[in-house]
């Protein structure tokens, strides 16, 4: 069962300002093709059908939005052709197996809609924009800019080791070590074993395991979520939905959320994931500035666990989900997908952001 979180509001009464001093938006990239195929190697026809389908869905923008420059690892790019050149694509994290992992036309549309919403809500704010080192987050950002109509923007794409938005890329060895420790918990192992026993059809019909023989739950769910978003059956060979697949996918989805609840309720993991991002909000940025960050599901989930300290398991953020922080003179308001989920004084917010500092 997918569970939402409760609104957490400070008991302190805050005055209301007409416009926030600063605004910070963290959004997930839009809908994309699955990161890779999990079709069994023996199903050659189905593998080819899957590649053909996703190739037909990929978003191919004709040009950069007006007066937009890409700052990729401190190199300025002024055209899409320079972005799509082989030397440039090789620097990104998700371009080795096209069309898998690429943003779709549907995903671009989702971000254009968000861009229109943001620009109408904050029309007089100067924009600063940062993306993670992925083609899908870069193109999601460009789609948002196109929908917003905002011009004269430099989109910054830092190197993996400099990126505060994705600790899995910034410090992969540390994250693997920390998550390995959490995964050794007997309760975690028990939940994993129980969930695995409940998805026999998925294990039989799809490539669900990594090179170490363990189920890759994100990789597994990725396939079904992407196909569901495009009203596709779970396989290209089957002409109808397979009932046991549907039931097992929901079990796998719930378990993936439980796994990340374990990860993100560990102080060391959560500190590495979310603290660098939240501390961005404490910087003395100029007034009337809008800071947007194009990122990932695990980014948004980490922020929510850090901010809310929920007692329930948080549901997985969908494509195009967003978190908005409005920073006023005397308070901070946090919104997730249009719903206010936290509100409190700035000192209280500062204490939350710094709670793992030693």
pLDDT tens, residue by residue, 235-265? 776 655 566 788 999 999 999 999 999 999 9
Tell me the per-residue pLDDT of 309-356, one tens digit each, with 9 for 90 and over.
Answer: 999 999 999 999 999 999 999 999 999 999 999 999 999 999 999 988
pLDDT of residue 239: 56
User: Is residue 192 very low, low, confident or very high in pLDDT (cuts 50, 70, 90)?
Assistant: very high
Q: Choose among 343, 341, 324: nearest CA to 333.
A: 343
Any bridge partners for residue 335, and if so which? 324, 340
Give residue 11's pLDDT: 41
Residue 43's alpha-carbon distances to 56, 98, 226, in angstroms, are 20, 19, 19
Strands annotated E in 234-320: 289-295
Residue 343: what pLDDT?
97
Q: What is the 3-state secondary structure (H, E, C) of 232-282?
A: CCCCCCCCCCCHHHHHHHHHHHHHHHHHHHHHHCCHHHHHHHHHHHHHHCC
Say if residues 295 and 26 touch (Cβ distance below 8 Å).
yes
The pTM is what? 0.93
Mean model confidence pLDDT for the chain: 91
Tokens representing 252 are 């796998």
Angle at 214 between CA 212 and CA 220, to 5 degrees: 120
Contact 64, 70 (CB under 8 A): yes
Of the pLDDT bands very low, low, confident and very high (cuts 50, 70, 90), residue 232 is confident
| Strand pairing category for 8-9 and 331-336 | unpaired
Biggest distance spanned by C-alpha atoms of the chain: 64
Helix runs in 184-216, H state only? 186-197, 200-205
CA distances from 292 to 9, 40, 52 (A): 24, 39, 34
The helix/strand/coil state of 228 is: helix
Length of the chain equals 358
Sign of CA dihedral 190, 195, 200, 202: negative
């Amino acid at each position: 069962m997918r569970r939402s979180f409760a609104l957490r509001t400070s008991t302190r009464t805050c005055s209301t300002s007409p416009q926030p001093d600063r605004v910070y938006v963290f959004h997930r990239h839009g809908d994309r093709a699955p990161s890779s195929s999990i079709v069994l190697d023996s199903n050659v026809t189905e593998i080819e059908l899957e590649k053909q389908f996703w190739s037909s869905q990929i978003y191919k923008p004709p040009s950069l939005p007006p007066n937009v420059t890409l700052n990729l690892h401190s190199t300025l790019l002024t055209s899409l052709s320079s972005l799509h050149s082989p030397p440039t694509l090789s620097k990104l994290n998700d371009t080795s197996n096209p069309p898998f992992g690429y943003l779709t036309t549907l995903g671009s549309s989702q971000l254009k809609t968000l861009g229109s919403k943001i620009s109408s809500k904050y029309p007089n704010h100067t924009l600063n924009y940062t993306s993670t080192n992925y083609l899908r987050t870069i193109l999601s950002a460009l789609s948002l800019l196109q929908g917003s109509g905002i011009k004269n923007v430099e989109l910054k794409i830092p190197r993996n080791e400099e990126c505060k938005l994705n600790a899995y890329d910034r410090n992969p060895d540390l994250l693997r070590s920390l998550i390995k420790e959490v995964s050794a918990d007997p309760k975690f192992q028990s939940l994993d074993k129980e969930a695995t026993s409940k998805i026999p059809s998925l294990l039989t019909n799809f490539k669900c395991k990594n090179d170490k023989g363990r189920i890759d739950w994100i990789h597994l769910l990725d396939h079904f979520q992407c196909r569901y978003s495009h009203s596709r059956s779970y396989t290209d060979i089957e002409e109808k939905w397979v009932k046991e697949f549907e039931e097992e996918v929901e079990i796998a989805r719930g378990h993936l959320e439980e796994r990340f609840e374990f990860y993100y309720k560990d102080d060391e993991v959560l500190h590495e994931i979310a603290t660098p991002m939240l501390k961005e909000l404490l910087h003395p940025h100029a007034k009337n500035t809008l800071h947007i960050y194009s990122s990932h599901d695990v980014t948004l989930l980490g922020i929510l666990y850090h901010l809310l300290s929920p007692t329930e398991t948080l549901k997985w953020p969908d494509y195009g989900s967003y978190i908005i922080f409005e920073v006023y003179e005397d308070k901070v308001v946090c919104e997730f997908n249009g719903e206010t989920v936290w509100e409190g004084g700035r000192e209280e917010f500062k204490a939350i952001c710094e709670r793992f500092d030693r």
